[in-house]
Each structure stands twice: as structure tokens, then as C-alpha cells.
Amino acid sequence: MESAPLADMMPFMASESRNSDKPGALSGRRTGATGVLSAVLVLNLSVAIAKLVTGTMTASIAILADGYHSLFDSLATVVGILGVTAAARPPDADHHYGHRRYEVVAALVIAGFLVLAAWEVLGAALDRSRSGSVPTASPLAFAVMIATLLVNIAVTRWEHSAGERLNSRVLKADAAHTRSDVYASLAVIGSLAAVRLGYPGLDVLVAVGIGALIARTAYVIMRDALAVLSDAAPIPSEDIAALFENNRAMGRMHAVRSRSNGSDIYVDLQLYLPDDMSVLRSHHVTEEIEDRIKQSYPAVTDVVVHVEPASLDPTTRRHR
């Protein structure tokens, strides 16, 4: 009897996997994300120009610091657009899992811009503390800061909602960037009120607080991005195994692992099934496992189940 070619047997010998990350879905996410980022870019530039002009006219270091923050928001958004565009490219011969980690790299670059913004703000605050000059808290300054605050609040909510809907790490990172601008603007408005009440020194203190806030936002984005790049497990292995612990028909699974590319989660595991189970039946078992994992964790797009005969299970052999 002639044996089947090894290539034909590989799907049954190795694993069961169904990848749902279709090119059409990637294209749709890219179009949605780039559309949001393009609109955010226009709004961020408008806000930055308004703050920088007002800060220069009133000699307020806090407003200027907030203006620099908004300017770096715009640069970060440009990086986000480039990252989303690169990440949307479908898998190819050299990138079997696609290019989604470009979004993570873009998030790291955004964090880098935040670090530069924090450095600029803290340096400006130090210069002001040395010079001792007093800012002008004019009605125009209050009006510009309140108007830009309202714009930033709307942008943050819209961008974060789009990030959740499209499962985009760049949109979420950019929304966090803009959210820090909201807090900064609130602090600036408070400092302007303090200047009107005769406490100009608070202008410098608020600028320092803004710098610290920007630095913390950079840290959080870097921490999350590095977790993805270092293949930190997005789902605890025991949580996945617990989905099947009371079902003997599913066999015994071990070596459960998960990793993420920033948006999608990949799971692989090894499964011991009875030696005499048919290939068709084992196929149905692995499909049921895959479906249950995806239902429990919607971010999971690919599950690989490696089937092994139960006679090779070391826990069973020890009890013989």
C-alpha cells in the first residue's frame, strides 16, 4: 500500500487552526482609523496654534506649555496615521502574521514625542522660575483655553470610542495623549485664575504639573507597547484551560500560551486525545475548543491546537 505524501498529512499531524484576520477586515479598520486620525490632526493643529499664539501674547508659560503639548499631539497623530497604514498591510511571504505590530511601534514613537514634550515643558518652567516674569491673565486667554478644552474633551471621547470599536492601539494611545491635554488645559485655566487673584507663581507650578502628567502618559504607553513587543501573555493560561476543565470529552490540554500583536490575540495549546479517536472526531473537538475560546475572548483571532495521543501523556503514564 502506497503511503500518502507527507505534505498531505501535515494538517492532521500538526494542528487545527482557522485565522479570521481577513484582508477586508484589515482594510476596513485602516480606513476607519486613518479617517479618525486625519480629523483629529486638523483639530489638534488648530488647538495648538490657538494656544501658542495666546501664550505668546499673554507671556503665560503654562499656556505655552499646553500649546507645545498640543503641537506634539499633532506630530503624534501623523505618526499614528503612518503606523495604521503600515499595519493594515495583509500577511505576505515574509510576514506570515501580518504587519499589525507597526501600530505598536507607532505607539512607542508617540510615547517618545510625549517625553520630548515633557522635557520642553519642564525646561520652560525652569526658565520662567529664574526670570520671575509675570503672565497676563486676560479675558482672551480664558476664552481660548475654555474653547480648546471643549474641543479636546470631544476629541478624546470620539477617538477613544473609535479605538475600542476598531480595536486600534494607535487610536487608544492617541486618545490617551489628547486626554492628558484635557487635564493640562484644566490646570492652565486654574493657573490663570490664580494669576488674576495675585498668585503668579502658580503659573510655573502648573507648568511643572503638566510636564509630570505628560511624562506619566508616556510611561503608560511605553509599558503597554513593550508588553506586546516582548510577547507578554494577554490571557492567563489557567483562564483558558478553565474553560474546559470539567469536560473530559475535550481531552487534557497543556502548554497553553497566548500572545498579541497589539490588536489581535493568538492562542496555541497542546491537547491529548484518545489514541483510537478518528481524525474527523479530533477535528471536531479542536474546532469546538477554538470556537469556545473565541466566544470567551473576542480579541482572539487565531487558535492553534496541536493534537497528541493520550498514550504519550506523561501524567497518565506515571499512574500505570
**Residue 173 CB neighbour total at 10 angstroms:** 32
Q: H helices of the chain, where?
A: 6-14, 23-58, 61-87, 101-131, 139-166, 169-196, 201-229, 237-242, 279-296, 314-318
User: pLDDT below 70 — which residues of the chain?
Assistant: 1-31, 128, 131-135, 316-320
d(CA 46, CA 181): 14
Burial class of residue 63 in the structure, from the number of CB atoms within 10 Å of its CB (0-12 exposed, 13-18 middle, 19+ buried): buried
Rounded CA-CA distance 86/54 in Å is 37
- Residues for the chain: how many in total? 320
Which pLDDT score is estimated for 220? 85
For 87-143, how does the pLDDT look when each residue is reduced to its tens digit (9 = 90+)? 777 888 888 777 777 878 888 887 887 888 788 778 777 776 776 666 677 888 888
**CATH 1.20.1510.10 domain locations along the chain:** 23-229
Cα separations in angstroms, 53 against 124, 136, 141: 16, 13, 10
Give CA torsion, residues 138, 133, 195, 177, to 10 deg. Answer: 80
Distance CA 178, CA 74 (A): 10
What is the reported pTM? 0.64
Rounded to whole angstroms, what are the CA distances from 79 to 41, 72, 113, 160, 241? Answer: 10, 11, 10, 17, 39
Alpha-carbon distances of 206 from 62, 76, 135, 196, 242, rounded to whole Å: 6, 23, 13, 15, 49
CATH topology of domain 23-229: Alpha-lytic protease prodomain-like (1.20.1510)
Q: Return the pLDDT at 267.
A: 92
What does residue 245 show for φ and ψ, rounded to 5 degrees? -65, -25
- What top-level class would CATH report for the domain 234-318? alpha beta
Within the chain, all domains assigned CATH 3.30.70.1350 are found at 234-318
